[in-house]
Structure 1
Amino acid sequence: MKAFHHPGQRAHDPQFFLSSGAPRPCPEKPARIDALLSGLARLSITPDLPQDFGLDPIAAIHPSRYLTFLQTIHQRWTKIEGASPEVIPNIHPANRTDGYPLSAVGQAGFHQTDTSCPIGPQTHEAAYLSAQCAIAGAEEIMAGARAAYALCRPPGHHCFAELAGGFCYLNNTAIAAQSLTLSGRKVAILDIDLHHGNGTQGIFYDRPDVLTVSLHAHPERFYPFFWGYPGEHGSGAGEGANLNLALERGSADDPFRRALAQALERITLWGADTLVLALGLDAFIGDPFAGLAVTTPGFAQIGRDIRALGLPTLIVQEGGYLCPELGENLAAVLGAWT
Structure 2
Amino acid sequence: MKKLMNDPTNVVDEMIDGYLKAHPTYIQQSPKNSRTIVTVRETKPGKVGVVIGGGSGHEPGFMGYVGDGMADGVAIGNIFASPSPDPILEAAKLVDKGSGVVILHGNYAGDVMNFGMAKELAEMEDIRVETVLTTDDVASAPKEESEKRRGIAGEFFGFKTAGAAADKGYHLDDVVRVAKKTNENTRSMGVGLSPCSLPQTGEPSFVLEENEMEIGLGHHGEPGIEKGQIQSADQVADRLLNDILADMPLEKGDNVAVLVNGLGSTTRMELYIMFRRVEQVLKEKGVKIHRSYVGDYMTSLEMGGCSITLMKLDEELAELIDYPADCPMFVQK
| Pairwise TM-score range, normalised by the shorter structure | 0.3 to 0.5
- Pick the structure with more strand per residue: 2
